[in-house]
Chains A and B, each alone.
Chain A
Amino acid sequence: MRGGDGGGRGAGRGRGSGPSPGALRAAATAATALGLALILGVAAGTVSHGRHDNATHVARMAAALWELPAGGDAAVTAFLEGRATIGPDEKAGPGAHAYRAGTLEPAAWIAVAPEEPGPGWPLIPTTLALLGLSLMSAWAFARRRFPPPSRYPTLPALPATLLLAATAVASTSWAHRALGDLSAGRAVHGTRAIEVALAHGADPGHAPRVAGLPWATTEGLASPDELWTLPREVAEAVAAAPPSAPAYTVTVGGATYHVARTAFPTPTSPAPPIPQDPTATEPDAANPANHLHLVLLGYEDTRSPAIPLAAAAAAPALATILLLFLLPLSARPRALRRTLTAWGFLSPAAALLLLFTFGPLLFSLWISLHEWHLVDPVHPFTGLANYGALLLDGEWWSAIRNTAVFTLHVPFAMAVALGLALLTRRSRRAVRWARLALFLPGITSVVAIAVVWKWLLDDGYGLVNRALEGVGLGSVAWLTSPDTALVTLMAISVWMVVGYQMVVFQAGLAAIPRDWYDAARVDGAGPLQRFRHITLPGLRHTLFFVLVTSVIGSFQVFGLVYVMTEGGPLGSTDVAVYHIYREAWEFLRVGNAAAMSWVLFAVVFVATWLHFRLLERRWAHA
């Protein structure tokens, strides 16, 4: 390394392969520069996209007004005021965004809105990035002159990472502010569009939808169709603001709500003149009872640039760190080549794992920390509130208890499966038939099995009850009584898993050397003693495997419940996964559902850990 860059390169060439430290350092600087450009580009792109989006939105509002049942022309004229034009299908001009009205007649009518001016490029973050990069380059050049004292100079990764992080944070803040302005503007446009629509006789129940934004009336601050409600804090802030207040923002739980407010006479009152300035609208404030108060919300957190910016920063940061880690290895070209080759082979699997396993996992964790409703575009951060609420949620714990009771079928199924495996041990033909007959349920669709059993166990026409009545026994409410439904499901589950478990046990039994049995027989052990001292210890790993996988599978039961009982009767078969499913896809509370999923994961994890702790350690000694 002495003699600077030339010496380093010479040494690299002398060994015949591997990049020189200088080249790697340059590559690391390049990766950092690329990362900075990427971050700035993503930030600017996000804001640019927001501006395009806003213009399209305004155009859509105009097109929606055009579709009013009466007075569309006048409404559009009132709304546009130069902000947008509407006419036959023409190419939109530069910087303008068109929206075609779908049911417009003739269909060729189109609304065109210009983009509003705004900050085009994040100047301060760019300055910061350039300054840091030049410092880094100067430092790298100095390092070339003075070789590192350590063989493993991993420290260089630190400034690059810091620079990338600082730029990402600055860009996020810049983009956040710019997008906030856009959201506020959109809320104002929205109130205007609603005013115009109402003034032209639109149904107050539906007309505000021309704004295409979440909205609420001040009467209870809920949306008329009750698809979503305002967070309590927002509702209180809005109620506290004077009716004449112009557009303002309310920040709750990390989400910023842009409020624009208007008040309009109900359709029974005569239509007021169309106001010129929407924020100054205050028609007949003396008699607010005659007016419908609307709160319109622009929102920005759903368009928060934080996640794409973090992603943009993470990739080059990782690349930089990786490169700088490789730096010391470049002194040993063979080790470097081995490392690179290994990562080359690992990277496809690692990428898939990150993308489809760890990604969704972390996303669900993220969701669980928010009040996240599928139709509500605002997802305020609530910390551990979802988890806290779960602690007091009786229905959830009832579902957990049902799941635990359901899991009790596992030891029973294992005992049956082990018995069958022992019975079919001697005869090959019996083994084949037993496998075929018992394995079939395991490979059949759960839904098909559930449907057939539901039919068999039907109270009225089910074959089982018919047969019971036929032999003089009363019929049983297999699936319709809270006392029996869960037990019935457990029995069906035993029937489903016994074949698979039996096959695993057969394999486990076949692996026990015959000599052990022979030795035990010569030692005088009877059949029970041989089972106790040879078979059970010989099967301990198999038993453990089957127990753990079956318990985990049992905690995840869903199909049977979904098809056969839908959690009923009276919630007696409402198991955890089914409960989560309903929370997410019937009540659309995915934040709660995600929290439940993590609690279920914790329960399964603890159960499995206990298995390992209590059983495997005792059984493991061979």
Chain B
Amino acid sequence: MTKAPRDVVLKGVEKRFGDVTAVDAVDLEVRAGELLVLVGPSGCGKSTLLRLIAGLEEATAGEVWIGGRAVDDVAPGDRDVAMVFQSYALYPHMTVARNLGFGLRVRGVGRDEVAEQVGRAAEVLGLGELLDRRPGQLSGGQQQRVALGRAMVRDPGVFLFDEPLSNLDAGLRLRTRDEIAALHRRLGTTMIFVTHDQVEALSLGQRVAVMDRGRIQQVGTPREIYRRPGNLFVAGFVGSPPINQLPLARDRQDRLAGGPFVFPGESPHPTATLAVRPEDLTITTTSSPTPTHPHGTSEPPPGTPTHPPAYTRIPPDPTALPPAPPRTPPDPPPFPATVLRVESLGAEQRLHLDGPAGAAWIARTSPAHPVTAGDPVQVSVAWDRTHLFGPDGRRTGTAPTPAATSDHA
């Protein structure tokens, strides 16, 4: 397991099944030794893309390069890739040992070497005692390990994972996720991992490629994907609970406006969408005697209404970014909302709000300050926590040009 990892390059790869375009002109570069996660809703073409890389499907157009070699005419077995399937696809009539060694045996590798490689993989994955069993006699987690081992024995340049965790129960899924990450650290091999679970994608991937409708929407580190979603789809797909959205439209002064949010200056777009992560909402309630303001400073920032006086600022969810230093352009004014429902999840609480202009918004807050359904609250957002997407869904910027306080008052 000392082979150099290989890179994978897709150049304008396209796959059509009759009238259906499953993969639409995808350009993607997977660096050697990288763990890249392909994530997207079901039917977005991510599995097809993986099968194109494996050679199980033939591209309608475009090229696939693996390790600096165009492999479009190379059989799957000769592409130096190994694949782990969602169903594990273990051969049911073979023992675990024969399953592990199958890829070597069909290549004519000698019996002793096969046994040695199988033994090494079994040791790494803790399969030693299972070697003489058949897949039907194994639990789901054990089968998953065998599937992993079958890929490892081949010592491939690229590992391909097609939703390998989706048939496991929640606890096992977390553990196996860690094991795959550890395996990647140990082997240093290129890995492409397909999943529909955005949490899995963010937790596992060094880089994440978000796909929708056959196209790659954004490629980036998990942090980039989450903090600077490139378009409205990525913003909405990544994150749980989903990002809060508010449609904006041009007002009489050609400013984009919606609810309390008014973007100063003339807008080039007739409409747009504002999005705010749930943990970036600051909630203030009246239930506590000591008022605090959104950013934790002793003085309320300009534009913060002083009435009603007895508000408590609930610290936002601990995962939220630390508050930015106060800015000269005033943030949008807080708006009143009613808590419709409270989800207490232990580490956090989620407040379902009737948001601005009737939009259903969710706020993530610290559970240290319990809120009950029906409470009136004040919600405030800093401009630099908002995302703005144009009518085509593309990101157009975050903070607006500072607007006069009087506009909001």
30 contacts between A and B (CB under 8 A): A515-B87, A515-B89, A516-B91, A518-B85, A519-B83, A519-B150, A520-B91, A520-B102, A521-B56, A521-B76, A521-B77, A522-B56, A522-B77, A522-B103, A522-B160, A523-B77, A523-B102, A523-B106, A524-B77, A524-B106, A524-B107, A529-B106, A533-B106, A534-B91, A540-B93, A621-B93, A621-B134, A622-B92, A622-B93, A622-B136
A523, closest chain B residue (CB): B103
Taken residue by residue from 321 to 360, chain A's Cβ proximity to chain B (1 for < 8 Å, 0 otherwise) reads as 0000000000000000000000000000000000000000
Binding site secondary structure of chain A: helix
Which residues in A have their C-beta under 8 angstroms from that of B90? 519
Expressed in whole angstroms, the Cα–Cα distance for A108 and B56 within the complex equals 94
- Chain A stretch 502-526: residues in CB contact (< 8 A) with chain B: 513, 515-516, 518-526
A243 beta carbon closer than 8 Å to chain B: no
A71 beta carbon closer than 8 Å to chain B: no
- Chain B stretch 62-100: residues in CB contact (< 8 A) with chain A: 75-78, 81-83, 85-87, 89-94
B106, closest chain A residue (CB): A525
Which residues in A have their C-beta under 8 angstroms from that of B92? 537, 622
- In the bound complex, do residue B83 and residue A518 qualify as a contact, i.e. CB atoms below 8 Å apart? yes
Which residues in B have their C-beta under 8 angstroms from that of A518? 51, 54, 56, 76, 83, 85, 89
Chain B contact residues, CB within 8 Å of chain A: 51, 54-56, 75-78, 81-83, 85-87, 89-94, 102-103, 106-107, 134, 136, 150, 154, 160
B85, closest chain A residue (CB): A515
Which residues in A have their C-beta under 8 angstroms from that of B136? 622
Q: How far is the CB of A110 from chain B (nearest CB, A)?
A: 81
Q: How far is the CB of A529 from chain B (nearest CB, A)?
A: 5
- Chain A stretch 15-36: residues in CB contact (< 8 A) with chain B: none
- In the bound complex, do residue A537 and residue B89 qualify as a contact, i.e. CB atoms below 8 Å apart? no
A524, closest chain B residue (CB): B77
Which residues in A have their C-beta under 8 angstroms from that of B56? 518, 521-522
- In the bound complex, do residue B83 and residue A525 qualify as a contact, i.e. CB atoms below 8 Å apart? no
- In the bound complex, do residue A523 and residue B93 qualify as a contact, i.e. CB atoms below 8 Å apart? no
Expressed in whole angstroms, the Cα–Cα distance for A324 and B106 within the complex equals 67
A521, closest chain B residue (CB): B76
- 5 nearest A-B residue pairs (beta carbon): A524-B77, A515-B89, A523-B103, A519-B89, A537-B93
Which residues in B have their C-beta under 8 angstroms from that of A529? 106
CB within 8 A of B154: which of A513, A516, A523, A540? A523
Expressed in whole angstroms, the Cα–Cα distance for A608 and B103 within the complex equals 37
Which residues in B have their C-beta under 8 angstroms from that of A525? 77, 102, 106
- In the bound complex, do residue A523 and residue B85 qualify as a contact, i.e. CB atoms below 8 Å apart? no
Expressed in whole angstroms, the Cα–Cα distance for A278 and B76 within the complex equals 103
Expressed in whole angstroms, the Cα–Cα distance for A57 and B143 within the complex equals 83
Which residues in A have their C-beta under 8 angstroms from that of B89? 513, 515-516, 518-519
Which residues in A have their C-beta under 8 angstroms from that of B160? 522
Which residues in B have their C-beta under 8 angstroms from that of A520? 91, 102, 106
Which has the most chain A C-beta neighbours within 10 Å: B78, B81, B90, B92? B92
Taken residue by residue from 46 to 84, chain A's Cβ proximity to chain B (1 for < 8 Å, 0 otherwise) reads as 000000000000000000000000000000000000000
A516, closest chain B residue (CB): B89
Q: How far is the CB of B154 from chain A (nearest CB, A)?
A: 7
Expressed in whole angstroms, the Cα–Cα distance for A522 and B83 within the complex equals 7
A529, closest chain B residue (CB): B106
Q: How far is the CB of A318 from chain B (nearest CB, A)?
A: 44
Expressed in whole angstroms, the Cα–Cα distance for A522 and B88 within the complex equals 13
A519, closest chain B residue (CB): B89
Which residues in A have their C-beta under 8 angstroms from that of B103? 522-524
Which residues in A have their C-beta under 8 angstroms from that of B134? 621-622
Given the known inter-chain contacts A518-B56, A520-B102, A522-B77, please indicate yes or no for A533 contacting B91, CB distance below 8 A: yes
- In the bound complex, do residue A523 and residue B78 qualify as a contact, i.e. CB atoms below 8 Å apart? no
Expressed in whole angstroms, the Cα–Cα distance for A533 and B136 within the complex equals 17
Q: How far is the CB of A342 from chain B (nearest CB, A)?
A: 33
Q: How far is the CB of A531 from chain B (nearest CB, A)?
A: 12
B57, closest chain A residue (CB): A518
Expressed in whole angstroms, the Cα–Cα distance for A454 and B91 within the complex equals 48
Expressed in whole angstroms, the Cα–Cα distance for A522 and B75 within the complex equals 8
Expressed in whole angstroms, the Cα–Cα distance for A91 and B89 within the complex equals 88
Q: How far is the CB of B90 from chain A (nearest CB, A)?
A: 8
- In the bound complex, do residue B54 and residue A522 qualify as a contact, i.e. CB atoms below 8 Å apart? yes
Which residues in B have their C-beta under 8 angstroms from that of A526? 77, 106
Taken residue by residue from 535 to 553, chain A's Cβ proximity to chain B (1 for < 8 Å, 0 otherwise) reads as 0010010000000000000
Which residues in A have their C-beta under 8 angstroms from that of B106? 520, 523-526, 529, 533
Which residues in B have their C-beta under 8 angstroms from that of A522? 54-56, 76-77, 81-83, 103, 160
- In the bound complex, do residue A521 and residue B75 qualify as a contact, i.e. CB atoms below 8 Å apart? yes
B87, closest chain A residue (CB): A515
Expressed in whole angstroms, the Cα–Cα distance for A516 and B77 within the complex equals 14
Expressed in whole angstroms, the Cα–Cα distance for A144 and B276 within the complex equals 87
- In the bound complex, do residue B81 and residue A513 qualify as a contact, i.e. CB atoms below 8 Å apart? no
Q: How far is the CB of B88 from chain A (nearest CB, A)?
A: 8
A619, closest chain B residue (CB): B93
Given contacts A518-B51, A518-B85, 8 further A-B contacts (CB under 8 A): A515-B89, A518-B56, A518-B83, A518-B89, A519-B83, A521-B56, A524-B77, A529-B106
Q: How far is the CB of A599 from chain B (nearest CB, A)?
A: 37
A532, closest chain B residue (CB): B106
Q: How far is the CB of A516 from chain B (nearest CB, A)?
A: 5
Which has the most chain A C-beta neighbours within 10 Å: B55, B56, B86? B56
CB within 8 A of A524: which of B51, B78, B86? B78
Which residues in A have their C-beta under 8 angstroms from that of B75? 521, 524
Which residues in B have their C-beta under 8 angstroms from that of A524? 75-78, 103, 106-107
Which has the most chain B C-beta neighbours within 10 Å: A523, A526, A622? A523
